[in-house]
């Protein structure tokens, strides 16, 4: 093989090696939420079973990637950090887990369970999520609908929740969101349990 052919083969091999190296990206990290103990540590007494009908999240957050608030009305979409399921599903699941820990056995029904006549439906809307360097804040509206359609069967509660952010990592963000959902569960259990 001639010297020129050898250089051409070497150049092609080097080009292919460089292209192959460019194709390797950092692995995608997946995050979930966890249930947390009650801040009060006492189970509420509930007279009727309840069901979390839905949990809605703001449109900009309703995507697989983790979306974080930044200064100047900007958000950062992290393509390599994603939720392990749709965020609304994760929030609903962790809220149900938290309520099961706070209310007597059998008082929290799965969302897809047959609806008994006496169930209290709870719908949650996360209105806004804000963060500073040290705090995650949620503005939440939750609606309870009691059975029977009697006067006052539907009531609306508005809460502002906040949890500490240990740092600016997505793991700390997921933990702070878990803590805030624990606070929401405490508030729902206290309200529906008559405390």
Strands 108-109 and 50-56: parallel
Task: Write the pLDDT tens digit of every residue in 106-147.
Answer: 889 887 777 777 888 999 999 999 999 999 999 999 999 887
- CATH number corresponding to 28-192: 3.40.50.10610
Q: Where are the domains of the chain?
A: 28-192
Task: Write the pLDDT tens digit of every residue in 65-110.
Answer: 999 988 778 889 999 999 999 999 999 999 999 999 998 888 898 8
**Are the CB atoms for 46 and 107 separated by under 8 Å?**
yes
Tracing tokens 């994760």 back to the chain, one arrives at 90
**Are the CB atoms for 44 and 192 separated by under 8 Å?**
yes
């Amino acid at each position: 093989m001639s010297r020129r052919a050898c250089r051409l083969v070497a150049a092609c091999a080097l080009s292919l090696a460089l292209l192959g190296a460019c194709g390797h990206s950092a692995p995608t990290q997946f995050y979930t939420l966890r249930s947390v103990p009650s801040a009060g540590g006492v189970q509420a007494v509930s007279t009727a079973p309840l069901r979390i009908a839905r949990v809605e999240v703001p449109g900009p957050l309703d995507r697989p990637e983790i979306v974080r608030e930044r200064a100047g009305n900007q958000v950062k979409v992290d393509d390599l950090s994603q939720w392990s399921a749709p965020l609304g599903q994760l929030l609903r699941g962790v809220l149900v887990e938290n309520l099961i820990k706070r209310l007597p056995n059998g008082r929290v029904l799965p969302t897809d369970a047959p609806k008994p006549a006496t169930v209290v439906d709870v719908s949650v809307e996360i209105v806004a999520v804000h963060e500073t360097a040290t705090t995650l804040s949620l503005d939440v509206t939750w609606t309870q609908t009691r059975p029977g359609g009697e006067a006052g069967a539907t009531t609306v509660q508005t809460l502002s929740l906040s949890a500490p952010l240990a740092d600016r990592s997505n793991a700390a963000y997921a933990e702070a969101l878990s803590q805030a959902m624990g606070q929401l569960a405490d508030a729902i259990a206290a309200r529906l349990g008559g405390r």
